[in-house]
């Protein structure tokens, strides 16, 4: 008898969260390491999750009037230098091409860390009148930022993302776009990824290089560390003036358009893993799971079992469900563990006795709950259970967010909370960057995450210096 393949074990997240994360991304076959430091091979299963995310978001972008374009990979140094604040913000991470073929280039070419300047160069050519506005463009691509410390999905030198870049006739329209796209991200996280998050405005210290205002979506990971899940920026007309973008306005005068930029990346896969995963591996929200239902035949060698499994598979596929039947000779126990590791939302078990009774067993990945389901009602039951998995994941993540959100009224309380209670800390702030720096230095990395849109007045004083408070801020450590 052939020796059965074993499902590789995963380090417990409570023992070593970083090792647990690495085990999951490797053993669930999401990524592999490459020979280029900081660059990852996204394997088929990991890329399929990204494709499902991309498809969902792309639909949302197009529903809001955006069009996809593609810009060059390389940026001439002179072009990158046109916006001073922007280039200074990215300078430490830029990778340069200096040789083409065997000849030294006359001008260095940056491998895009982001594409604002490329869009601006193009917009200067195609925007002439207010009738040409708004320009609502989005790009799906990869970018490169030469990171010193890397981790798959969370921080890699090259990563996949989308970057929206839009131009508007007025500041009001551009600001409306900035907030609209932040809300699109918030809805995507909730409705598709089953992840709740805090949204709000970044402080001046933490805003994007070259932006007037930066807004962020901040989900909370299982271990109490935050993740910047996506950002939306209002640039004003600073880039437009630097690049000479002008249009003839409705009053027949030359004006500069107002610009926005917004983006999310494959970092969202890291969020999925760390928000929903457990000691058995991935737990995937149904809407992005490459396989929503795995069918495991029981006593597959007996007549009619495989045939019934295939019949069910065809029926579910026709209902628009992503389904796979595992007909390998591995044992049911191995298959259970393998698809748990891969985070498949529902497992469907079918054996001879089930066939006799006209039923099957549905098992939820998130809760382990088993339900005996009549085959005559299977399609509806599967859809209901997939929704239940989504709802269960969202509720569990919401409870984690609430449990890991703390309040500090004094600096001693803030330091004590930062030391002993991982998560967000709600505290008042005077608006002074010196206090931000002091908090970061004295807590080993706790930073302002955002100023929420709905601020609570916890006290009148800054938690750090005691001066009059201007804002309530969510603080926390981040990936």
pLDDT tens by residue, the chain, 479 residues: 344 555 678 999 999 999 999 999 999 999 999 999 889 999 999 999 999 999 999 999 999 999 999 999 999 999 988 876 767 777 888 999 999 999 999 999 999 999 999 999 999 999 999 999 999 999 999 999 998 888 999 999 999 999 999 999 999 999 999 999 999 999 999 999 999 999 999 999 999 988 999 999 999 999 999 999 999 999 999 999 999 999 999 999 999 999 999 999 999 999 999 999 999 999 999 999 999 999 999 998 898 999 999 999 999 999 999 999 999 999 999 999 999 999 999 999 999 999 999 999 999 999 999 999 999 999 999 999 999 999 999 999 999 999 999 999 999 999 999 999 999 999 999 999 999 999 999 999 999 999 999 999 999 999 999 999 999 999 999 99
Three-state DSSP class for 297? strand
Provide the whole-model pTM.
0.95
**C-alpha to C-alpha distance for 118 and 128, rounded to whole angstroms:** 18
| C-alpha radius of gyration, the chain, whole number | 25
**C-alpha to C-alpha distance for 275 and 218, rounded to whole angstroms:** 12
Angle made by CA atoms 211, 457, 214, in degrees to the nearest 5: 10
Q: Where are the domains of the chain?
A: 17-276, 293-385, 405-476
Provide φ and ψ at 344, rounded to 5°: -60, 125
**C-alpha to C-alpha distance for 80 and 84, rounded to whole angstroms:** 9
Given a contact cutoff of 8 angstroms between Cβ atoms, the answer to whether 381 and 321 are in contact is: no
Which residues neighbour 252 within 8 Å (Cβ) at sequence distance 6 or greater? none
Rounded-to-10 torsion of CA 112, 68, 154, 387: 180
**C-alpha to C-alpha distance for 228 and 202, rounded to whole angstroms:** 11
What is the CATH superfamily name and number for domain 405-476? C-terminal domain of ProRS (3.30.110.30)
Do 17-276 and 293-385 come out as alike in CATH topology? Answer: no
**Cα 234 from chain centroid?**
20
Q: Which residue has the tokens 């298959």?
A: 335
**C-alpha to C-alpha distance for 270 and 272, rounded to whole angstroms:** 5
Q: How far is CA 84 from CA 52, 371, 402, in A?
A: 37, 61, 41
| DSSP sequence for 10-53 | ---TTT-HHHHHHHHHHHTTSEEE-SSTT-EEE-HHHHHHHHHH
**C-alpha to C-alpha distance for 434 and 465, rounded to whole angstroms:** 9
What kind of fold does domain 293-385 have according to CATH? Rossmann fold (3.40.50)
**C-alpha to C-alpha distance for 113 and 142, rounded to whole angstroms:** 9
**Would you state the CATH architecture of domain 17-276?**
2-Layer Sandwich (3.30)
**C-alpha to C-alpha distance for 217 and 185, rounded to whole angstroms:** 8
Q: Which residues, listed in sequence order, are joined to residue 150 by a DSSP beta bridge?
A: none
């Amino acid at each position: 008898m052939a020796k059965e393949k074993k499902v590789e074990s995963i380090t417990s997240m409570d023992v070593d969260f970083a090792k647990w994360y690495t085990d999951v991304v490797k053993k669930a076959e999401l990524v592999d390491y490459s020979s280029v430091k900081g660059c990852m091979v996204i394997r088929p299963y990991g890329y399929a999750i990204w494709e499902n995310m991309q498809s969902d978001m792309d639909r949302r972008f197009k529903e809001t009037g955006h069009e996809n374009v593609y810009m060059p990979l390389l940026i001439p140094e002179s072009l990158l230098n046109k916006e001073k604040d922007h280039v200074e913000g990215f300078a430490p991470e830029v990778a340069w091409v200096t040789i083409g073929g065997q000849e030294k280039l006359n001008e260095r070419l940056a491998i895009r860390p982001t594409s604002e300047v490329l869009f601006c160069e193009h917009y200067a050519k195609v925007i002439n009148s207010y009738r040409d506005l708004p320009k609502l463009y989005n790009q799906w691509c990869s970018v490169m930022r030469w990171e010193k410390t890397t981790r798959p999905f969370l921080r890699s030198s090259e990563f996949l993302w989308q970057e929206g870049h839009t131009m508007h006739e007025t500041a009001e329209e551009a600001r409306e776009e900035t907030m609209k796209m932040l809300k699109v991200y918030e809805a995507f996280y909730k409705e598709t990824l089953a992840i709740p998050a805090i949204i709000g405005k970044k402080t001046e210290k933490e805003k994007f290089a070259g932006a007037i205002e930066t807004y962020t979506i901040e989900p909370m990971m299982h271990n109490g560390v935050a993740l910047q899940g996506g950002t939306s920026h209002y640039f004003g007309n600073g880039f437009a003036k630097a690049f000479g973008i002008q249009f003839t306005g409705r009053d027949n005068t030359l004006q500069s358009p107002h610009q926005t930029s917004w983006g999310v990346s494959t970092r969202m896969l890291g969020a999925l893993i760390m928000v929903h995963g457990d000691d058995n591996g991935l737990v995937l929200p149904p809407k992005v799971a490459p396989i929503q239902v795995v069918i495991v035949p029981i006593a597959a060698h007996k007549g009619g079992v495989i045939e019934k499994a295939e019949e069910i598979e065809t029926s579910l596929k026709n209902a628009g469900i992503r389904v796979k039947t595992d007909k390998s000779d591995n044992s049911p126990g191995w298959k259970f563990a393998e698809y748990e590791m891969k985070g498949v939302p529902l497992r469907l078990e079918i054996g001879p006795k089930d066939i006799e009774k006209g039923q099957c067993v549905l098992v939820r990945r998130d809760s382990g709950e088993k339900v005996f389901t009549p085959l005559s009602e299977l399609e509806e039951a599967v859809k209901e259970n997939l929704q239940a998995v989504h709802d269960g994941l969202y509720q569990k993540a919401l409870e984690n967010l609430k449990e890991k959100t703390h309040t500090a009224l004094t600096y001693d309380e803030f330091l004590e909370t930062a030391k002993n209670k991982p998560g967000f800390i709600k505290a008042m702030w005077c608006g002074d960057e010196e206090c931000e720096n002091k908090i970061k230095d004295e807590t080993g990395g706790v930073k302002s995450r955002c100023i929420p849109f709905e601020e609570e007045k916890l006290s009148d004083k800054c938690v750090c210096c005691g001066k009059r408070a201007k804002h309530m801020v969510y603080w926390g450590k981040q990936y």
